[in-house]
Structure 1
Amino acid sequence: MAFVCNLGKCSITSAELKGAVTGLRLAWDKGYRRVHLNLDSTTAVGIIMNNAEDDHRHGIIAKEFNYLLSLDWDVRVSHVYREANFAADFLAAKGHLVDFGTHLFNVYDPELEHWLLHDIMGIPHDRLIINTI
């Protein structure tokens, strides 16, 4: 199963946190009880692991993480570099192409499967960064 979200305009950290919460909710609802959540944002990992206060700008979503992590399951949260998470990058890019909201996929997209295999096997892949200035 996979999902993409079009969140409209928001910060990168907000997008990372909202995507992670959505993924955890889906995993819980589907009955998964051992989950490894990989995030490429050290800021997002810090907010989740350090239980941000209510008055923090991400406090509401941090409270949701606190609730989800308190459920009866094993969730490991860790930071991974972008280069080890191409499948997430692929899905994030797809999120810009869909209507507002969350969209679930029950069958792997062949391109997604390609990037998942890269991630699982640790195959390096160069990124092309285009300077638009």
Structure 2
Amino acid sequence: MEGSAFCKKGLIARIKAWFRIVEQAHQNVQKTSLTSRTAGCTRLISWIPPDEGWIQLQTDGSVVTSTGKAAAGGLFRNNLGQCKGAFVCNLGSCSITAAELKGALEGLKIAWQRGYRRIQLNLDSLTALEIIKQRQNDNHRHGSLAKQFSYLLNLDWEVTVSHVYREANCAADFLANKAHDFDFGTHPFNVCDVDLVQWLRHDVMGISHERFTTNVI
């Protein structure tokens, strides 16, 4: 009897051990699956010039957290990386998304006035990009800005709108921050700022920055 009881206890222990092994294996499979679906990698990000015959419009927005003051800036570049003009906008107070949108709007208006008819608009804000692509949405808090984009994008010209990482938008970021030093309103200029030149060279030289990105499979 004692031997029989001992064998039963041993069998139960082995069964429990197998259950633990199977459970652990199941958990490992789940972890592996989750990791594969959200796999990440480090990428080198650098500025990419537009195609020949196109003008690249890079814009960015900026908001000072402590004051709520907003600004935006942007520049126009050809396929050689040459700056064909720039602008800054002191916007008063607004959200960062509104600043991104208003900066892009001002850039498109200036581009149209200057006769550019093939524009590649680059932004590093996915939120602003989505609003622009929706064109019109009366229920959205930025609906009035979306309508202005709809009007501009329907003019007789070619405009593409793309997202770029911030690491590839350094020149526009510099201008957006510099815009806080200007009076309220939009200030376009033909001669690029001396301090901006270093960012132009930085991009043309192909200097890249590491960025960790995740990809959901």
Q: Which has the larger radius of gyration?
A: 2
1:67 aligned to 2:151? yes
TM-score (norm 1): 0.89
Q: Does the residue aligned with 1:71 lie in a helix, a strand or coil?
A: coil
- Displacement of 1:104: 1.3
Listed one character per residue, the Cα deviations across residues 43-94 of structure 1 (whole Å, up to 9, x for unaligned) are 0000001224112111001000001000111101000011101111110011
Equivalent residues, number: 126
Task: State which of 6, 11, 16 in structure 1 corresponds to 2:100.
Answer: 16
Listed one character per residue, the Cα deviations across residues 8-35 of structure 1 (whole Å, up to 9, x for unaligned) are 1111110000000000000001000000
Pair 120,58 (structure 1): closer, same or farther in 2 beyond 3 Å: farther
Task: State which of 18, 26, 37 in structure 1 corresponds to 2:110.
Answer: 26
Q: Does the residue aligned with 1:75 lie in a helix, a strand or coil?
A: strand
Structure 1 residue runs of 5 or longer lacking an equivalent are 127-133
Q: How large is the Cα RMSD of the aligned pairs?
A: 1.4
Name the % identity.
Answer: 67
The runs of at least 4 consecutive aligned structure 1 residues that moved more than 6 Å come to none
Task: State which of 85, 89, 95 in structure 1 corresponds to 2:169.
Answer: 85
Q: Which amino acid aligns with 1:117?
A: R
Give the structure, 1 or 2, with the largest relative contact order (CA under 8 Å, sep 6 or more). Answer: 1
Question: Could you tell me how far apart the structure 2 residues matched to 1:120 and 1:62 are?
Answer: 33
Listed one character per residue, the Cα deviations across residues 94-128 of structure 1 (whole Å, up to 9, x for unaligned) are 111111111111101122122123234431358xx
1:112 aligned to 2:200? no
Greater shift in the superposed pair: 48-57 or 27-36 = 48-57
TM-score (norm 2): 0.55
Structure 2 residue runs of 5 or longer lacking an equivalent are 1-84, 211-217
1:7 aligned to 2:91? yes
Pair 108,40 (structure 1): closer, same or farther in 2 beyond 3 Å: same
2:178 match: 94
Q: Does the residue aligned with 1:96 lie in a helix, a strand or coil?
A: helix
Question: Could you tell me how far apart the structure 2 residues matched to 1:117 and 1:76 are?
Answer: 25
